Copies of this chain bind each other. A is one copy, B any other.
């Protein structure tokens, strides 16, 4: 693989500036927590797993400015740093989960010195980083068993190396299939309005030398009708405990179209994407984003100023439209409440 999307290097966080892709692959070196905060805020780093890893490293950056050996003051300092990082993307569940995990480590070791606490926080942040790498490869391996040589697959948005440390969820399946020498084609939906499919997914698939074709979102059905798609793989933003899955807007559309054309539809997501407090997709809140994303491109208007806009960032695909959910623990065929709950016991 190429350089990771995000890593810890000589006491700094190094990450790909995704706002510059696909035109330039530039790195940002975050030497302090403020620079990292801004990188999350402006989407230089995005994708739920990658943001989680960034939050862990953010705590380490914040730790560097603490002077002295008063461990009570140190804990307070870390809580403050965590609260600050939490404001960078207020709706990202992975961000809060990782920050909770870092704080839990502190709470479990009330007896340690500042230097010992610094050591275990560093270990925890690096463990989160390594877990992402391992879990993505495990999902990739399970998912690759579903792709045969000669097939064509489709994906939407970016559930790839750029959304994780270095491998991806849905795109991790393609990398694993490629590693086992399978030959296949990928059709990437451009993913309006922010074009993550066009800008990010095609960029990283080409970098991995995978045969990739870009289409507009409204062309997917036409390809399915022509029997040119054998399976669809997407990531997930959040999964309810019955398997209903929220993901980037347009995912539900692909799932319905897949059902009509009898094409298997797979969600690829780690166990950490399941929200144990959410029973069904009806309870998943859907973020609505601003009109500017839809009515202009760059600074150029593409619609009349006065028009109303509906711009939901996500949609929910119910479990009956999902052929299987692929996690690091294996493949859940025809997901339902019972099977999803078994994942956690």
Q: Footprint of B on A, CB under 8 Å?
A: 22-23, 156, 187, 189-193, 195, 198-199, 202-203, 206, 211-223, 225, 249-250, 252-253, 256-257, 259-260, 294-295, 297-298, 300-304, 306-312, 315
Contact = CB atoms under 8 A, between A and B. Distances in A.
A301 B214 contact: no
A294 B190 contact: yes
Contacts of A310: 187, 213-215, 219, 223
A303 B298 CA distance: 14
Contact of A219 (B199, B202, B249): B249
B253 A198 contact: no
Q: How many copies does the complex hold?
A: 2
A156 to B, nearest CB: 8
A92 to B, nearest CB: 21
A315 to B, nearest CB: 4
Contacts of A256: 221, 256-257, 260
A236 to B, nearest CB: 16
Given A221-B252, A310-B187, A315-B222, A214 B295 contact: yes
Nearest to A308: B213
Given A217-B218, A221-B252, 4 more contacts: A198-B303, A218-B250, A222-B315, A256-B260
- Give the top 8 A-B pairs by smallest Cβ distance, nearest first: A218-B250, A221-B253, A192-B216, A217-B218, A198-B303, A213-B308, A22-B304, A222-B315
Contact of A298 (B189, B249, B300): B300
